[in-house]
Chains A and B, each alone.
Chain A
Amino acid sequence: MTIPVTVIGGYLGAGKTTLLNRLLADPQGVKLAVVVNDFGSVNIDAALIANREGETISLTNGCVCCSIGDNLALALHDLAERPDGPQHIVIEASGVADPARIADYAASHPRLFLDGIVVVADAETVRERVRDKYVGDLVRDQLAAADVIVLSKTDLVDADACRQVRAWIAAEVPGARVVAAPGAGEVADLMLSGAAGRAAMSRPRADDEHSRQFATWSFVRRQMLDGGALRAAIAALPPAVVRAKGVVRLSEAPERRFVLQLVGRRWSLEPEAGEVRDDWASDPSVIVCIGLADQLEPEGLEALFAATPIGHVPQAARALLRGEGRS
């Protein structure tokens, strides 16, 4: 089993720890390991603590919190090699770290892979920060490294200022995926690939939940997909899509299944590790996208993926699939 690794970056005080605390409070059943610089900043409910041993705090919900100590690689390798290891690792980068460099650590062990880089930017101060003589270049590098940018403290600025900072980020980081800081119920959807896929497939969101920032859209096809067309469609996904996960069959290798992972601007489509079978034909190809509810356009996505299936689509399947759409 491989373990996805998410890096949370962002300058001092941007809101990384708030995000982590929300995630630890509601990991949606994912056995999570959180790697932090300093336990002190993570707000763990004492009732949740099962055990504390040196650099590791074990929680009653199965999650663990580890401090980096003086060697991040060592902390990660330790997690990767635990017999009862985590399903997902989240690293809180220090406020002055370049998250792209921290992300390199996700490739330091055969069992780990980088899921994505989430960078938190303070809506109120980020534009001022990039003009700072000491850290301006660093804050710019942090934003540039982001697969998804979480805009925090949007409640402290008015709507106009919020629009301005979003426009500024769009110009500063071409193709940036910008979301507002997710609430407790949504943070796992954004941060954890496992949770995103499961949550979207097992508990479709109701349309009337207006408070929700994210909506999901799924794409299910019985027939195999064309790899080239699918890759083109993924590359052309609009910035409103912040996460996607899929298991698909491709005509280029019918004996395998392929896994799609997308976090903002980063995505991969790789053959699934494990067994090669010739009876995958009975499994459908499924892709679930999570995006900004107010910007996600199902028709546009539908059109984008229309060219990906190979061959004839039976009428019955069309009827079946019509029911999917935006949920």
Chain B
Amino acid sequence: MPGPITIFSARKIITMDPAVEEATHVAVRDGIILELGTLDECAVWGPYTLDDRFGDSILVPGLIESHAHLLDGLLWAKAEYVGPIDRRDPSGKQHKALKSVSALVRRLKEIEAMIAAPGTPLIGWGVDPSLNDLVDPITRHDLDQVSKDRPIFLLHASCHLAYVNSATLELANYAAIKAPGVLRDASGAPTGELQEMAAMMAAIKAVASDLVGASTDTEQFFNFAKVAQARGATTIVDGGGSTYFEPAFLQAALAATGSPDFPVRIVAHNNGITVPKVEDMIAAATSLKDKGNDKLAFQGIKILLDGSNQGFTGRLRAPGYLRTGANGLWNRAPEELTRIVSAMHAAGMQIVAHCNADQASEAFIEAVAAAQAEKPRADRRHFIVHGQLLDESQLRRMAALGISATLFSNHMYYWGDFHRAHTFGAFRAAAMNPAATALRLGLVIAAHSDTPVSPVDPLLTMWAAVNRVTTTGRVQGPRERVSAYEGLRMMTYNAAWLLHRDHEIGSLRVGKRADFTVLGDDPLAVEPMAIKDVPVLATILGGRVFPVAA
């Protein structure tokens, strides 16, 4: 017995489907789109309830965040956000960017005053002095102004660094820890900056043990979902580090996503990051295939090839990093990669490959070429995550081999100036995330935030791909800008295609899921620089409305 019909009206419904590009009404039944067109066209299906609360708004296909991490939700649950980027928390509250050490200290004092119990550590996240107006190091002296007694631990946005106060240094006995990542001043005393896990671990264990080890906290799933939903996402990817193959973790994930109030769909990549053996990855992925629910699905196996460009650990082709010529780190040896890729490809798996810099992409492309030569298979939709320095020759080979990508377009905005000055230099900074060339060559590409690295905000990501502007207003690589239509398609249909879900989501068409994002303005009609400021009013997931707090 089919359920009741609801017809939503809108100022304009943008379908992203070339058959019928625009509509004013959409009829929904049982979570599925029944008809799109005028009210009369929709009414043909029989009795309905008209929902016209969005009558003045714009409906677009539910926006898709094609690469993010559940860690974002855990950080919101366990730590205070104190970073240099504006961010909205799961409750919808906006946290203003703290762009100087003094602003950070002021904010920490406010937070400190609200922690009642003495000795309870103050844990913060999202700090990144490289994005401050003046790049000053953060020291224990700064943090001691906040408290001399209460341990303070601030995690860097990259998760590779931390800043601590004297109380933490003392509690964790840093006098006896000689790891070179414990920075020291001229007198030999720790400055409070801890670089990399070898230096950070003693402090983490002493004051922030919540941040390591797999948490089964259900709140992390809700946080992850709420932050993304508030910016209009209806589907988000959990990008591969989570341990769904562990029964307790899977149980927590199913419990959270099984709630009718869970506001997004999660597509989780299977873990090829912390699982060493390819046979185990394939077995875990196979066993999880049908273990999801309406809002949790497993797709693709994520593998990690190199590090991060702003951390100087991405694997670059010659001439390497700016000035030094240094190169980054492999997470998988290319020859091991060849075996892994060919085994997954042969087993029918989709491979999702983190390749930040261009040599990592090169290695992946070669591995797929070998796997395809061994066992040609169409439509696997293997794709590269980040692919920041892909060039035309790599993109052409990708097109030929059926490899796609989700690009890290947000990087141009947040780190474009940093890359120009410190990692890549002028030319390569302008060449980052070449979306226009990729689309021209016929690749189906998307773009992402990689939250918690940058905030999950699909309209901002679209805006970044459309404008390629840095925080200081410089447009880098203007020919690689995409149109607003292409930008919206990257955040909808193309992302759905990467996830093998374009038959269900990613555009509005009769028979597809009733997932919409409700906007206050038309992102295809506003000034391109205004796209990120288009208000998100609500999302609709399978026909159910999830409001967004104003």
Contacts and interface: CB of A to CB of B under 8 A. Distances in A.
A binds B: yes
Interface of A: 11-12, 37-38, 40, 69-74, 77, 95-96, 98, 101, 104-105, 107-110, 113, 134-135, 137-138
Given A104-B180, A104-B199, A107-B198, A69 B330 contact: no
Contacts of B359: 134
Nearest to B274: A70
Contacts of B363: 134
Nearest to A11: B333
Contacts of B176: 110
A105 B195 CA distance: 12
Interface string B323-343: 000010111111110000000
10 contacts: A40-B277, A73-B198, A73-B201, A104-B196, A105-B179, A105-B198, A107-B180, A110-B177, A113-B178, A135-B330
A95 B329 contact: no
A11 B201 CA distance: 27
B179 A108 contact: yes
A116 B9 CA distance: 71
Given A74-B213, A104-B198, 12 more contacts: A11-B333, A73-B200, A73-B201, A74-B201, A77-B201, A95-B333, A96-B330, A104-B179, A105-B197, A109-B177, A110-B173, A134-B333
The 10 closest A-B pairs by CB, nearest first: A110-B176, A73-B201, A70-B274, A38-B276, A104-B198, A96-B330, A107-B179, A107-B178, A108-B198, A134-B334
A119 B180 CA distance: 21
Nearest to A108: B198
A154 to B, nearest CB: 22
B197 A37 contact: no
B205 interface: yes
A95 B335 CA distance: 11
B212 interface: yes
A104 B212 contact: no
Nearest to A113: B178
Could you say which interface size class chain B belongs to?
Answer: 20 to 34
Interface of B: 173, 176-181, 196-202, 205, 212-213, 241, 273-274, 276-277, 315, 327, 329-336, 359, 363
Nearest to B363: A134
Contact of B329 (A38, A96, A104, A105): A96
A109 B201 CA distance: 8
Contacts of A69: 274
A159 B447 CA distance: 56
Contacts of A70: 241, 273-274
A235 to B, nearest CB: 21
Given A104-B181, A104-B196, A137 B327 contact: yes
B245 to A, nearest CB: 13
Nearest to A13: B335
Contacts of A72: 197
A135 B332 CA distance: 11
Contacts of A137: 327
Contact of B276 (A40, A77, A108, A138): A40
B329 A74 contact: no
B364 to A, nearest CB: 11
A16 to B, nearest CB: 13
Contacts of B179: 104-105, 107-108
A289 to B, nearest CB: 26
B330 A138 contact: yes
A166 to B, nearest CB: 25
